[in-house]
């Protein structure tokens, strides 16, 4: 099979690393980077440390409004697809790069395979939810990470070409956990002792682009005794400055630039608790057995909450503070995200799916 894989944002680089490594043993892959993320610490670092093949095309789209960014991507991806004529276009997750890849392909009658299909937050105010729903409805092969995802698709009438292969982020984590343990020096660099700090990431539009929510999060972080390490997404940095919250956040938190995946795994596994609005970080916290406080009102990763390792606080000051002081994970942890061989199953199933 000739596969064009489309990636563009940080979590997609991490997800594509194990998949590219595996599918290249059995298929031809052309890698397209839309350029949605472009800062070295949001893009290049992952290609380097995870040995992701150099993209065959970098479309250099960059930032923009929803329609502008997605529209420009569709234009440029279409040109690549017309030239490369692949059998399948492979897309990941729920970003604008996902939607653009899927739309450009389906309009050219090229099969679409979606990794991380079937996730739902049931919150249509999130751009990601729109991207997920549309991508799933135009995909031919739907690689679900969980039984919940399969059920969500069934509830929307999608049953053909649906496979629960497990989560490729388990593949990535299992492959890199020991490497991170050995290679990362981030704890020494930041002068941190294991389990004596909290780790925070924030980038979701509902938190960053909303002064009330962002202020409330900053306020809660400022009132905590324990050190909070905060690798900061550029979007969040921009809004903290715009809302005059920059000085305040610096007072009590160790704000650092976004870190590479190996440093992130090291920070996550040694954190006392994790505060986040990231999808991927919620899952990693669960896999590593670290209590997670999710700064959102909903999550698509419901298993992490059901199993007692994740609590939803939204951007509510009192709830965040209470969770930081009191929330602990439970002991029980099942392999709800699969066994770490999602990539192998994806590679095998590339020839299947509805036409
Ligand atoms: C995107 C995804 C989100 C995902 C996140 C992963 C969409 C709609 N959102 O959100 O689902 O969780 O990536 O991190 O696709 N910026 C930079 N440098 C960069 C990239 C971004 O400075 O390399 C700044 C720009 O000001 C930009 C803003 O961050 O406007 C937002 O970037 P964008 O890619 O639009 O969305 P994310 O918030 O990163
Ligand atoms: N991540 C990273 N460095 C950071 C923050 C996150 O390597 O500074 C990793 C994290 O470990 C996870 C992925 O990026 O694997 C999650 O991406 P992100 O939070 O940007 O997006 P989401 O998962 O919410 O779509």
Using the CB atoms, write b or e for 1-34: b if 16+ within 10 Å. Answer: bebbbbbbbbbbbbbbbbbbbbbeeebebbbbbb
pLDDT at res. 204: 97
pLDDT at res. 268: 98
61-75 confidence digits (pLDDT tens):
999 999 999 999 999
Atom 2 of ligand 2, nearest CA residue: 261
Same domain for 76 and 201, yes or no, is no
Name the domain count of the chain. Answer: 2
Same domain for 264 and 119, yes or no, is no
> 188 in a domain, yes or no?
yes
> 320 in a domain, yes or no?
yes
Same domain for 23 and 59, yes or no, is yes
Same domain for 310 and 243, yes or no, is yes
Backbone dihedral angles phi then psi of residue 38, each to the nearest 5 degrees? -140, -20
Same domain for 110 and 193, yes or no, is no
> 57 in a domain, yes or no?
yes
pLDDT at res. 334: 82
Q: Where are the beta strands (DSSP E) in 53-182?
A: 57-58, 88-92, 111-115, 141-144, 162-164
> 235 in a domain, yes or no?
yes
pLDDT at res. 353: 64
Three-state secondary-structure class, residue 202: coil
Same domain for 239 and 111, yes or no, is no
Three-state secondary-structure class, residue 142: strand
Residues in the chain where the model's pLDDT stays below 50: none
> 333 in a domain, yes or no?
no
Q: For residue 160, how far is its CA from the centre of ligand 2 (angstroms)?
A: 31
pLDDT at res. 42: 98
Query: Where do runs of H (alpha helix) occur along 108-146?
Result: 127-137
Q: For residue 10, how far is its CA from the centre of ligand 2 (angstroms)?
A: 6
Q: Lay out the sheet containing 197-201: strands in order across.
A: 253-256, 227-231, 197-201, 273-276, 292-294, 310-312
Same domain for 179 and 160, yes or no, is no
Q: Is 264 in the pocket of ligand 2 (CB under 6 A)?
A: yes
Same domain for 127 and 191, yes or no, is no
Q: For residue 333, how far is its CA from the centre of ligand 1 (angstroms)?
A: 32
Helix axes 168-183, 279-288, angle to 10 degrees: 70
DSSP strand pairing (57-58 vs 28-33): parallel
> 332 in a domain, yes or no?
no
Backbone dihedral angles phi then psi of residue 293, each to the nearest 5 degrees? -110, 115
Atom 34 of ligand 1, nearest CA residue: 36
Contacts of 76 (CB under 8 A, 6+ apart): 34, 59, 61
pLDDT at res. 351: 80
Same domain for 317 and 247, yes or no, is yes
Question: Which range marks the domain in which residue 141 is found?
Answer: 2-167+339-352
> 37 in a domain, yes or no?
yes
pLDDT at res. 355: 58
Same domain for 129 and 210, yes or no, is no
pLDDT at res. 354: 62
Same domain for 196 and 321, yes or no, is yes
Same domain for 152 and 33, yes or no, is yes
Q: What is the DSSP-derived secondary structure letter of residue 37?
A: S
Q: Indicate which CATH number applies to the domain containing 118.
A: 3.40.50.2000
Q: Indicate which residues carry an active-site annotation.
A: 203
């Amino acid at each position: 099979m000739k596969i064009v894989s489309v990636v563009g944002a940080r979590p997609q680089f991490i997800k594509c690393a194990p998949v590219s490594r595996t599918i290249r043993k059995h298929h031809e892959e052309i890698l397209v980077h839309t350029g949605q993320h472009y800062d070295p610490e949001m893009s290049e670092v992952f290609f380097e440390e995870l040995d992701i093949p150099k993209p065959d095309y970098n479309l250099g789209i960059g930032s923009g409004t929803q329609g502008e960014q997605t529209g420009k991507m569709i234009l440029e991806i279409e040109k690549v697809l017309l030239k490369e004529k692949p059998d399948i276009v492979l897309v990941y997750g729920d970003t604008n790069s996902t939607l653009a890849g899927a739309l450009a392909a389906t309009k050219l009658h090229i099969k679409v395979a979606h990794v991380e299909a079937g996730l739902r937050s049931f919150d249509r105010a999130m751009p990601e939810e729109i991207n997920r729903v549309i991508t799933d409805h135009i995909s031919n092969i739907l690689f679900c990470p969980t039984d919940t995802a399969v059920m969500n698709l069934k509830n929307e009438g999608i049953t053909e070409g649906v496979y629960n292969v497990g989560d490729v982020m388990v593949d990535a984590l299992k492959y890199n956990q020991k490497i991170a343990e050995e290679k990362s020096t981030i704890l020494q660099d930041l002068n941190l002792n294991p389990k004596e700090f909290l780790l925070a990431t924030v980038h979701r539009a509902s938190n960053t682009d909303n002064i009330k929510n962002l202020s409330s999060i900053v306020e809660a972080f400022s009132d905590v005794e324990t050190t909070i390490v905060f690798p900061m997404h550029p979007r969040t940095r921009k809004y903290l400055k715009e809302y005059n919250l920059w000085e305040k956040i610096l007072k009590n938190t160790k704000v650092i630039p976004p870190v590479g995946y190996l440093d992130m795994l090291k920070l996550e596994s040694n954190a006392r608790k994790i505060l986040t609005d990231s999808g991927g970080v919620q899952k990693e916290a669960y896999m590593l057995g670290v209590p997670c406080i999710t700064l959102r009102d909903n999550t698509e990763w419901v298993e992490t909450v059901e199993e007692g390792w994740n609590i939803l606080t939204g951007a509510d000051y009192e709830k965040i503070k209470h969770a930081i002081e009191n929330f602990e994970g439970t002991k029980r942890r099942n392999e709800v995200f699969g066994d770490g061989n999602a990539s192998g199953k994806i590679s095998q199933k590339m020839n299947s799916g509805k036409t």
